[in-house]
Amino acid sequence: VTQVCFPQIGSHDHAPRTAPHVTGAAGLGGTRSTLLAGLVADLLGEDDVAVLLDRVVAAAGTLEITASSISLVDTDPADMRIMAASDERAEHLVRHEVRLGTGPSLDGDRDPRPDDPEPVDLDRWPDYRAEAESLGIRSAIALSLDAADRHIGAMVLYGTDDLRLGRDDGAFARALADIAVLAILRSRTTYLQGTALDLSQALADQTAVEQASGMVAEIRSCTVRDGMHLLRTRAVAGGLPLATLARAVIDRDEDPTTWDDRP
């Protein structure tokens, strides 16, 4: 099943980003080092991975390139997802690559650290090349996104003619790709942590509700089943989450003897 999702894209204007909105500690007027410093600060301060990757793509706009994109591929090509694109052309090309199931994001250079990243040979993908050329894109550099020896995606830089970065620009582009990897890993950790905490909370809530139903049963001299019923009725009447009311009973902040036992 081909699954493409486009976070961010569509909510932004698609004017070519000659002056993209890099926020954080640095604007694009600064030097490369202030730009990188700003992105690293964003890594700590910004929670939304889509916003972070958008800023990485915007920072890539300082290179002599036409457009750029970041896409993720975890397991198989059908699951490739576009995470950020500098303009409509880049977005369209990644979509096209998902349709074809092949292209520079999916099959580009897997060497994570070339000293001077070379353009990929677009002749490897004739259908892709034709589509790119119809948009004025004639060359592309694919930077592999790797985490712990796992290929998780690619950052692709597009050019209207033969792209040559040189060592300095190449190192800057690589740093941007590394920041993208960190942003993606961090968002995954945050997600996992959130889910783990939810699970932990759900266990605690369920225990509290059962304990409270026993307390209500004892205080009201009824069965545990009726105690649970009273607890639920009271929660609904008071507009309180069941677990919140249960904790109030456990903490003796709520006195079940005063509860109305009519349904």
Partner 1 sequence: VDRRRLASALDAVHAEDDPSTGFDHLAVAAVDGMGLGGMSASAMRGTTSQIPVFGSDPTARSLEDLQFAVGEGPCVDAYTSIAPVLVADLGGHGAWPAFTPPAVDIGVAAVFAYPLHVAGVCIGALDLYADRPRRLGPDEAAGGALIAAAASRLILAMVAPGSAFGGRLAATASVRNPAHQASGMVAVQLDVAPDVALDALRAYAWLHDRSLDDVAAEVIARRLRFGP
Chain contacts with partner 1 (rule: CB under 8 A)? 189-190, 192-193, 195-200, 202-204, 206-207, 210-219, 224, 227, 250
Tokens encoding 220:
């009201």
For 61, other C-beta atoms within 10 Å of its C-beta total 20
Of residues 168 and 255, the one with the C-beta less far from partner 1: 255
DSSP-derived pairing of the beta strands 150-159 and 81-85: unpaired
Residue 137's closest CA among 91, 175, 173? Answer: 91
Of residues 214 and 241, the one with the C-beta less far from partner 1: 214
Tokens encoding 141:
């550099």
For residue 9, give Cα distances in angstroms to 13, 191, 207.
9, 22, 43
Cβ 14 to partner 1 shortest distance, Å: 29
Of residues 116 and 218, the one with the C-beta less far from partner 1: 218
Task: Give dist(CA 231, CA 252) in Å, integer.
Answer: 14
Of residues 179 and 208, the one with the C-beta less far from partner 1: 208
Cβ 249 to partner 1 shortest distance, Å: 8
Of residues 64 and 198, the one with the C-beta less far from partner 1: 198
Cβ 206 to partner 1 shortest distance, Å: 5
Q: Where are the alpha helices (DSSP H) in the chain?
A: 32-45, 49-60, 88-100, 104-107, 126-134, 166-220, 224-238, 242-250
Using only C-alpha atoms, the chain has a radius of gyration, in whole angstroms, of 27
Task: Give dist(CA 50, CA 179) in Å, integer.
Answer: 13
Determine the residue type at 73: V
Of residues 136 and 194, the one with the C-beta less far from partner 1: 194
